[in-house]
Amino acid sequence: MILFKKLHTFVFLCVSMIIFSNNAMANTTIQLWHQMIYSHREVLKKVVDDFEAKHPTIKVQVTYRETEELRSAFQSSSMGGSGPELIYGPSDQVGPFATMNLIRPLDNLIPIEEQKKFDPLALVKFNQKTYMIGNTVGNFLMLIYNKKLVPNPPKTLEELIKIGQSLTKDFNGDGKIDQFGFAFNFTEPFFFVPWIDGFGDHFMTEKNQPNLNSKAMISAFGLMRDFRDKYKIIPKECDYEMANSLFKEGKAGMIINGDWSWGDYKSAKIDFGIARFPLINSTNLWPAPLVGTTGYSVNANIEDPLKLKDTLELLNFLTSKETQLIFTKEVSTYPSRFEARLDPLVINNDILKEASKIMEVGKPMPVVPEVRAVWDSLRGQYQSVLAGSATPEQAAQKAQEEALKQIQSMNEELTPGPTLYLVWLLFAAILGFLLFYIATRIKKFLKDFKGANKFPYLMMAPAFISIFSVIIYPFFYNLALSFSNFSLKTFNNWTLIGLHHYQSVIVDPKFYEVFLKTIIWTISNVFFHVSIGVLLAVIIEQVMPKKNLWRTLLIIPWAVPQYITALTWRGMFNQEYGPINIFLQEYLKLSPIQWLSQPWTTFSACVITNVWLGFPFMMIVALGGLQSISPDLYESAKMDGANAWQRFKHITWPMLQPVIRPAALLGAIWTFNTLNVIWLVSNSGEPADQTHILVSYVYKAAFNLYRYGYAAALSMIIFIILIVMSLVVNKINKESKESNS
């Protein structure tokens, strides 16, 4: 009782804390969202502090977001009519943002003479207007080599292979390679496309259309495969983190990485040099890294002229010569202002001198929104080549087809179709039904409410009102979106168009494929959750001493936040360094499994992770159920000579049904709808988008390809599938209950 009184006071305190916790504000607050890496953030903080000291009436709020999240968060917040005044990110976000009218052209805000002081590469243009000013030029890939292992960088591909082979070594003779000649994030298209230019073609045409089905593409595909399988100079499975840490530990002689990594290598005390990608001998051409910029854009939503003035003030400060030189000094970035490049800091920096030479053979980073579709389809096909499920020729052709298809669906501006009437009819029907329902039931309900059942209604009201006030609006918003043409091109003026998206979902064979996978995913997960959970519960309850200890140890997976688990398991599945493969090799003498590069092994990896997450819940539910089984039953069964299995089959399992069934249903719904595990373990559906379940597929459509309408329709379909599923399950439960009694 005393506890409850204390709770009262506590609740009161908490509520008053919420009400009175308003922050004091400076005159203007400018928000700046950025995606700078850790070391750059520190510099940014210093610069912003300096700015605030010089402008006491302006407060700058700096927020970090990871690149992809920055993009989707900025889209959502602009849709809500707000968002940060300044956004800092890579140049390729300009295309989509400008298309959606989220950022404003800078040409009227920054005089042309001022613009001329910048390297044209740092002024990001879209449809002839400047939308972004970069504070640095670069963001490009190059060959980085460890001077200890590679005294002179390879000039040509042949040299690279030779040096690579001489450095790839197994020191202790255990059959595993301890040092690699070469390592890079080769499964990611961004790290792959520079090579295409070395074979004489570019992955985009001058007119920003995809150019994926080329001879050069096929040769480049082949080269990547040869690096891994023929020359064996790169690790079999290598993502960015892996390549990076190999290089930092001196276990890889050369790496392909960008200018952003220099600071990291410096602090890891690696004596490194940089060079161009090696010349391709057969063509005598240089591979061309994409050169871009990261820079600032101004939100289109700013209306207050004073705020705009302050924002520009900050923008000028952040792109000034002084600020650029601070960045150059601290984290060796290459300034975008010509005058800053004359500073001794830049001139005397050997790395930057070399960098400008590398950039000479670079190509500008495309900024049109279409490039996203190109990356996406190229990634899928390229990973199929690496997984051996497509030949380079097939993949090049298919990548081109898919890119065109995706661009088409990204750019389509749908207009209201005949099915729009059906939608209105549907809305009318829902409304009519609700009115009818309320009209017929309200009297009964009111009678009930005023009469005997006033108490339960009052008890329930707060919870149900809060649940439904939070859920209802989003639900109908989504329903409306699913009938709309909301996409990249119609970001600000979407309208209802009808059932188009539902039709395209239903005729898409990919939908059924993903659906099937989702069912396999759900069934296998729930099966393992229940069987492991029940097995462990029975053993703990019936055999083990110190029940509490085992129970506590076994619920730990449940207690750890999911996103941490998922990323941890991804690390554990790594082919070279993950403990799972090390265990398989050292203790079971099996050959390592390439978990994360084949569709089905990746899928299994996701299942294992999710089983790990979910079995403790079922175990606890089953333990609870076991408590209610009377020991007498077992005693009498034993007297009748039933063995352990028979006792389980005839007593334990049937008696557990009432607790296991609802928990399994709930578990199935959660598993069906879980995004974290699939998304994080398979790194958003890799390889080649073949590891999706419906929910991750929706997520991808919405945030990667801007197809909000399509994604909303798909999520409504998921919702309907789940409702049908639980109705069916309930019916089965009911029937089996009736047949039992």
Partner 1 sequence: MKKSLSWFTILLFCLFSLFPMLYVVSISLRGDNAFGSRSLALFNSQSTLKNFSELFLHTPFLKWMMNSLYVSTVVTLSGVILAATSGYAISRYEFKGKKIMLMSLLTTQMFPATMLMLPFFIVLSKLHLINKFLGLIIIYSSTALPFCIWQMKGYFDTVPKELEEAAKLDGCSSFQAFYKIILPMSTPALVITGLFSFMSSWSEYLVAAITLQDPELYTLPLGLKSFQASLATQWGLYAAGALVVSIPVVVLFIMISKYLVSGLTVGSVKG
Question: Rounded to the nearest whole angstrom, what is the least distance from the CB of residue 72 to partner 1 in the complex?
Answer: 9
DSSP assignments along 512-532, one per residue: HHHHHHHHHHHHHHHHHHHHH
- Residue 560 Cβ vs partner 1, minimum distance, rounded to whole Å: 5
Rounded to whole angstroms, how far apart are CA atoms 286 and 277? 7
Q: Closest CB to partner 1 among 317 and 550? A: 550
Q: Which is nearer to partner 1, 178 or 304 (CB)?
A: 178
SS3 for 136? strand
What is the nearest approach in angstroms of partner 1 to the Cβ of residue 91?
15
Detail the DSSP E strand segments found in 359-449.
Answer: 363-364
Q: Report d(CA 82, CA 87) in Å as an integer.
A: 13
Tokens 């149900």 correspond to 464
702-736 residues labelled b (16+ CB within 10 A) or e (exposed):
bbbbbbbbbbbbbbbbbeeeeeebeeebeeeeeee
Question: For residue 289, how many other CB atoms are within 10 A of its CB?
Answer: 28
Place of tokens 């804390």: 17
CB of 66 or CB of 632, closer to partner 1: 66
Closest distance to partner 1 from the beta carbon of 406 (Å): 20
Looking only at the bridges linking them, the beta strands covering 141-146 and 252-258 are antiparallel
CB of 396 to partner 1, least distance (A): 27
Q: Based on CB atoms, which residue is closest to partner 1, 418 or 451?
A: 451
Cα four-point dihedral sign 209, 210, 213, 218: positive
Distance CA 270, CA 457 (A): 69
Q: Closest separation between CB of residue 719 and partner 1, Å? A: 5
Expressed in angstroms, the distance from the first to the final Cα of the chain is 42
CB of 179 to partner 1, least distance (A): 12
Separation between Cα atoms, residue 262 and residue 142, nearest integer Å:
11
Residue among 424 and 475 whose Cβ is closer to partner 1: 475
Taking a C-beta distance cutoff of 8 angstroms, is the pair 315, 86 a contact? yes
Structure tokens at 204: 């985009």
With respect to partner 1, which residue has the nearer C-beta, 577 or 634? 577
| Beta carbon nearer to partner 1, 231 or 558 | 558
Which C-beta is closer to partner 1: that of 471 or that of 523? 471
161 burial (CB, 10 Å; 0-12 / 13-18 / 19+) is buried
Residue closer to partner 1 (CB basis): 338 or 583: 583
| 422/399 Cα distance (integer angstroms) | 37
Report the C-alpha gap between 584 and 601 in whole angstroms. Answer: 15
Is the Cβ of residue 341 or residue 372 nearer to partner 1 in the bound state? 372
3-state secondary structure of 182: strand
Of the two residues 36 and 325, which places its CB atom closer to partner 1 in the complex? 36
Smallest gap, in angstroms, from Cβ of residue 113 to partner 1? 35
- Of the pair 421, 563, the CB lying nearest partner 1 is at 563
In the complex, minimum distance from the CB of residue 334 to partner 1, in angstroms, rounded to a whole number:
17
Decide: 494 and 415 in contact? Cβ < 8 Å: no
**Minimal distance, residue 670 CB to partner 1, in Å:** 7
Q: Whole-number minimum distance, CB 216 to partner 1, in Å?
A: 26
Smallest gap from residue 303 Cβ to partner 1 (A): 15
Q: Who's near 329: CB < 8 A, 6+ residues apart?
A: 345
As measured in angstroms, the least distance from the Cβ of 6 to partner 1 is 11
- Per the CB < 8 A criterion, the answer to whether 162 and 250 are in contact is no
Between 514 and 554, whose beta carbon lies closer to partner 1? 554
Give the integer Cα–Cα distance in Å for 88 and 32.
7
Angstrom distance (rounded) from CA 513 to CA 527? 21
CB nearer to partner 1: pick between 17 and 112: 17
- Which stretch of DSSP H or E encloses residue 551? helix 547-554
C-beta of 675: minimal distance to partner 1 in Å?
6
CA distance readout (Å), 195 to 70, 280, 355, 725: 29, 9, 18, 49
